[in-house]
Structure 1
Amino acid sequence: MNNKQAEEVLNVINKSISLSQGNIFQLRKDFEQLYLKFSSKHELNVKIQNVSDIPGFKICAENAQDDHIILFFHGGSFTAGSTKDHLDLCGKLSRESGFCVFSIDYRLAPEHKFPDAVEDCLMSYLWLLKNGIEASQIIIAGISAGGTLALSTLLSLRDNEVELPRAAVCMSPLVDMLFEGHSMVTNKGKDWITQERLEKSRRIYLKGNSLTQPLASPIYADLHGLPPLMIQVGSHELLLDDIIKFYEKAVDSNVEVTFELWKDMFHSFQIFSSCIEEGQNATRNAGKYIKHMLSL
């Protein structure tokens, strides 16, 4: 790895979290402590706005407008993560775009299985529509598993003939639960997630459901009719080849895609933007993209 900042952060991550050991509940605590360790200190206005039984949070940076909304889905391999440990990223997206973020804590496995998380994300979008936010005023954004859920939500909305949001931003999404991309081999040791961890999370989340079910693996879906997408991925990600394959399929399906490949970056590097310049720039680009799309 040539990027010194990324290498140092990767070393801290590998020392801080036991990705292959311990139970899922300890893993959640490890994730939270790790992400909070890299969080910046921001002045944010955070308001609880639950969607039925789903915890929801409206997050606004200073001077952010709330007439347009970024609907955000956190990462964590469908088994961990929360708005709390992604608050820094939400705040930066709000600051860079000038709009408020609405983040939900969707149901996690193993307590809940697929497609419960998808249903929660879909419900949160419908809730925004019901509360006066128009589809054209919404951008869906997500990172890692949240990026997958962003795509799953788009597919669900399209198939149910619900008006689609203006666009979506997907950071390091899991798009193929088969994990067959060659980068699973070539990037081994360059990323902080492992094949073992991916397979374990897949097993816990899907619990016997088909690995190629489109709402779990969006790469197997018909992508026609989706709104514009921004996709960000690091060149050192295990999931790199899967994401590139999805991007190519989306383009072939006449979906407008803004694709960013970040050299030497690992999975979900935007979370660590307080220490990695590329993470700052990628988050800034996402904010600019959101601002541009919502101004059309």
Structure 2
Amino acid sequence: MNIQYFSASDEDRRFAAALLGDGGFTEVYASPQSAGDMREATRSILQSNSYAIDAPGVVVTSSEVAGVPCEKIVTSDADANGLIVFLHGGGFVRGSLELGRRSAIELAALSKRPVLAIGFRQAPEHRFPAASLDVLHVYRTLLAQGHESRAIVFVGESAGGCLALTLPARVMRGECPLPAGMAGLCPMADLRMHGASWHVNAARDIATREMGERMLDLYIDDADKGDPLAAPLNTPYDANANVLLCVGANEVMLSDVERFADHADRAGARVALNLYETMPHGFTKFDTPLARKAMRHTADWCVDRLADAR
């Protein structure tokens, strides 16, 4: 396993402190109880400039793949060799293409590769494994359209990272081939939330255990949280897998991600674990030096995996 630690600048520290000290933001982000209130809170957050990105020359086109709403994001100078499939976050409940659009656009601009963002179904209307099935159906349709698995990488944020990193369970069941790589940005790695950082980092992160429990209650039954398709820590890995993990050092999910990294590494997978000092959950969606660095790392890793596939 390749582990790298990236130190925070003063600007990063100011950002993290301001975000954690913003009572209005944390109230909107972590307090809503119902699915409807969570989604409304997300819509209100997206109206802030924090989630905007200036990426001239990027074209976003709506489409459907396998009946699933998607967005194709392409730069004017894109290299058509390879495809990045992007999966948004939102705890399986409050996510949307809009929530993930900033990161998807940034990946397209940095990698100069086309990005396909998937708008998978959300709970509680569509509980586990609906989201995972949407990702599988889109992936298999892409393969049927002529894309090669070795020319596709998956990148997912938070809940989307969970979905991307559980693909090897589908591979083991013979439902799809392994993509060239799978990256998780602040991924949810263990839906049982057994890691120590849920307690150690509780006062350092904008995400909370209570918030996680509310969303997971809407998404999945307790009996299913150990299913190999539910979370990466349960998923079988082998030496053919390429994995990138980017996680903030102040995240409540940090320990779960570290345990998953060890799980995949012990199975022989090629694992890169990047840790970013002081960063909270979901930091890659903001405009800070470490967030920009993490997105650059992710884009470069995607390009390297796609280059290896040629």
Q: State the TM-score bracket (shorter-chain normalisation).
A: over 0.9
Q: C-alpha separation between the residues in 2 aligned to 1:175 and 1:107?
A: 19
Q: 1:280 to 1:36 in 2, by over 3 A?
A: farther
Please, what TM-score do these two structures have when normalized by structure 2? 0.89
Q: Quote the RMSD (CA, aligned, Å).
A: 1.8
CA contact (8 A) 1:36 1:85 kept: no
SS in 1 for 2:30: coil
1:65-95 deviations in Å (ceiling 9; x for gaps): 3331101110000001111122111111111
Match of 1:211 among 180, 201, 225: 225
Q: 1:32 to 1:10 in 2, by over 3 A?
A: farther
CA contact (8 A) 1:46 1:60 kept: yes
Q: 1:199 to 1:15 in 2, by over 3 A?
A: closer
SS in 2 for 1:229: strand
Q: C-alpha separation between the residues in 1 aligned to 2:203 and 2:76?
A: 39
Q: C-alpha separation between the residues in 2 aligned to 1:22 and 1:217?
A: 23
Q: 1:16 to 1:58 in 2, by over 3 A?
A: farther
Look up the match of 1:259.
273
Match of 2:299 among 284, 287, 290: 287
* Aligned pairs (5 A) from 1:136-215: 136-160=150-174, 162-215=176-229
CA contact (8 A) 1:183 1:239 kept: yes
CA contact (8 A) 1:35 1:271 kept: no
SS in 2 for 1:248: helix
SS in 2 for 1:42: coil
Match of 1:122 among 109, 119, 136: 136
Look up the match of 2:255.
241
- Do residues 74 (structure 1) and 88 (structure 2) align? yes
Look up the match of 1:10.
20
Q: 1:158 to 1:14 in 2, by over 3 A?
A: same
Match of 1:97 among 101, 111, 127: 111
CA contact (8 A) 2:239 2:270 kept: no
CA contact (8 A) 2:248 2:277 kept: yes
Amino acid at match of 1:281: K
- Do residues 28 (structure 1) and 42 (structure 2) align? no
Number of aligned residue pairs: give it.
294
Q: C-alpha separation between the residues in 2 aligned to 1:135 and 1:217?
A: 22
CA contact (8 A) 1:16 1:30 kept: no
Q: C-alpha separation between the residues in 1 aligned to 2:127 and 2:163?
A: 13
Q: 1:208 to 1:5 in 2, by over 3 A?
A: closer
SS in 2 for 1:67: coil
Match of 1:224 among 238, 241, 261: 238
CA contact (8 A) 2:87 2:100 kept: no
Q: 1:263 to 1:208 in 2, by over 3 A?
A: closer
Larger mean Cα displacement after TM superposition, 160-169 or 113-122: 160-169
CA contact (8 A) 1:60 1:99 kept: yes
Look up the match of 1:63.
77
Q: C-alpha separation between the residues in 2 aligned to 1:189 and 1:234?
A: 14
CA drift of 1:15 comes to: 4.3
CA contact (8 A) 2:66 2:138 kept: no
CA contact (8 A) 2:185 2:247 kept: yes
Q: C-alpha separation between the residues in 2 aligned to 1:51 and 1:20?
A: 34
CA drift of 1:22 comes to: 4.2
Amino acid at match of 1:40: I
SS in 2 for 1:230: strand
Q: 1:60 to 1:248 in 2, by over 3 A?
A: same
Identity %: 27
CA drift of 1:36 comes to: 4.7
Q: C-alpha separation between the residues in 1 aligned to 2:190 and 2:301?
A: 25
